[in-house]
Amino acid sequence: MATRRALGQAGFYALSIVATRAIGLFMVPYMTRRLTTAEYGSMELMATIADVATTVLSFGQIDALFRYAGAAADDAARRRVSAESFGLIVILAALAAITMQLLAVPIQYLLADKVPPLGLRFMLVTVALEGAIEVPLAWLRFCERSSLYLVIILGRTLLQAALVFVLLEQGQGVPGVMLASLIAAAVTATILAVTQWRDTGIRFSRASATALLSYGGPLVLAGLGGFVLGTFDRLLLAPAVSLTALAIYALAYKVAVLTPQLFQPFAMWWLPRRIQVLLEPGGVERSTRAVSFGLAFLYWLGFGVATGGVPLIKLMTPPDYHGAIAFLPWLVVATLVQHTADLVNVGSYAGHSTRNPMWINLGAAGVALIGYFLLIPPYGVAGAIAATILGWAARLVAIFIDSQRKVPLSLPWLRLGLYAGLLTLAAALTPRDLDLGSAIAACLVGAAVAAVLGNLLGLAPIPAGLLRRWRSGAVVPP
């Protein structure tokens, strides 16, 4: 896998992320003008339900596909695994759609009629379709067909946005927004089904289904553990702090998650291929190089967001919201700890079972929960952030030990630690009270110096092709 090809793949993924984020951002002011506050709150409540339901109804099949396709002996075997995975998820999606409709009335009752019944039913069908969408998309990522992935993702986003505009102009309200999502999901699922059929066909094997569900099933519980480590603290913060504090926390969080969003193109390229690379000749060494590059790139991005987020917050918001600057670096630390674990966990996913990651995630969620109950009452938002970092740190330690026990990677921990420490020190020493122009200049200079430093340490936190003038032969993904 040449560096140029890897960068090209990551570039398409980056473009898909940027485009969808930009379209979503463009739609927010329009939708808030067309929907009342109550309607917008209703839509956000259904979005939260959809997030949890999607985690459950994915059945862990994306990681299962990566695991078994990556370990397959040849291309024919990989296509057979993909066909069987798609056949399984189609059956599960159909069963989920029926089940979700039967549960619509009880869900409506539990929500005390805060969501429109028709909109809820549209949303539940959309959630059921997501599995039939995500598994074929995962196959495209595995095959490095990133250009087609971009076209499908962008097409779905544009179609959904256009439908939302038409239906809201017709006065359809929240049910119209949910119907737009359903139509876009149905069209996307149909296109992907045809593409998958032509590429691999569709098969169902009881033995394969058992193996795929045995591998993916525990990841559902692991995903729920991640939900606890993610946004669950908002429910506990609501009665403990003011709405102003929650708003500032939410703003800081939205800026901090730019780190994983910017890192996602590399992750989308590497994670589907990590098992396949590991099992190839020289796979451990190549995996070590890729993970080292990924960690350095992640830390560089974290430094950029921790420092660049300051002028961004000042530019986007009035002074009342600038208190988010104090929370920003700590939330960036939380995202760095989280995604460090995601990079060094290859050994935990290389076997035939994912029970260990499941128990690790649930254990880390338990640590975070204890922290929330102990730290939120006296310390508010700061306590919630501390508990979240503690939970992610517990997960990192456990997942690293488990992964290294199965697949030891000789990572350059001394250089990585030195790099991360220097970036942390630089971010901590960067003044927070600079005027906007000075803050932007400091951010740009700091990012450039950090990039050169990483390259001199042999970690190459940005693509080596951009730094050939500084050093040749930089460490890059395999």
At 472, the pLDDT band (50, 70, 90 cuts) reads very low
| Residues contacting residue 195 through CB under 8 Å, at least 6 positions apart | 136, 140, 148
At 434, the pLDDT band (50, 70, 90 cuts) reads low
pLDDT value at 249 more than 50: yes
pLDDT of residue 436: 67
pLDDT value at 1 more than 50: no
Distance of alpha carbon 224 from alpha carbon 212, whole angstroms: 19
Distance of alpha carbon 271 from alpha carbon 24, whole angstroms: 26
Q: What is the pLDDT of residues 103-159, one digit of tens each?
A: 888 877 776 666 788 888 998 899 888 878 888 888 888 877 778 888 888 899 999
CB atoms within 10 A of CB 414: 9
Q: Domain ranges for the chain, please list them.
A: 1-204
Q: What is the pLDDT of residues 284-321, one digit of tens each?
A: 788 888 888 888 889 888 888 888 888 878 776 677 76
pLDDT of residue 41: 57
Q: Mean of the pLDDT values across residues 355-379?
A: 87
User: Contact at 8 Å (CB) between 138 and 268?
Assistant: no
Higher-confidence residue of 157 and 351: namely 157
The amino acid occupying position 263 is F
Q: Mean of the pLDDT values across residues 399-421?
A: 83
Return the CA Rg of the chain. Answer: 23
pLDDT of residue 385: 92
Lowest pLDDT segment from 92-101, 189-198, 238-247, 326-335: 238-247
Q: What is the pTM of this model?
A: 0.63
Q: Mean of the pLDDT values across residues 346-370?
A: 78
Distance of alpha carbon 49 from alpha carbon 41, whole angstroms: 13
Percent of the chain with pLDDT over 90: 12
Higher-confidence residue of 197 and 44: namely 197
Q: What is the pLDDT of residues 85-107, one digit of tens each?
A: 888 888 888 888 888 888 888 87
Averaged confidence pLDDT in the chain = 78
